[in-house]
Homo-oligomer: A and B are copies of this chain.
Amino acid sequence: MAQRFSHQRERIYQTVLERRDHPTAEMVYQQLKPEMPRLSLGTVYRNLQQMAREGRLAEVDGPVTRFDAVTRPHTHFQCRFCGALMDLEAMPYDEALDRAAAAQGYQVTGHSLVFTGACPRCAAQEHPA
């Protein structure tokens, strides 16, 4: 019943932790394949999902699911030009938001806040709104 140690799982976790770009299962797989040639994509999916269930990783949903090793509440920014998903500092209203939602009759356990727009790099190029 209890969980056992697994070399693969630890490397998968470290990969998500070290990368700051909230990788997808495929991205993790591609990165690890060279050093673990027998690794299978199914294993990556299974472990990411398992760690997400346990709260060791956070899932960020979208057309393709991304994973985040930062589980404390924070905010994301998605660039609609390059597609990158990056972290933002916590919003000043974080707790106030949960309270406001709770006031509408819901039991709130958390929230997800994602901003959309142009990241500094893409904005610097030619991207007229």
Contact = CB atoms under 8 A, between A and B. Distances in A.
Nearest to A119: B106
A120 B97 contact: no
A111 B109 contact: no
B116 A108 contact: yes
How many copies the complex holds: the figure is 2
Interface string A85-100: 0001101110011101
A112 B116 contact: yes
B120 A105 contact: yes
A123 B100 contact: no
A74 B111 CA distance: 14
Given A77-B106, A129-B109, A101 B88 contact: yes
Interface stretch (A4-12, A39-47, A57-65): A57-65
Contact of A100 (B61, B63, B91): B91
Nearest to A89: B104
A62 B68 CA distance: 16
Contacts of A77: 101, 106, 108
A3 interface: no
Given A98-B115, A107-B123, 7 more contacts: A77-B108, A88-B104, A91-B97, A106-B123, A109-B129, A111-B116, A112-B112
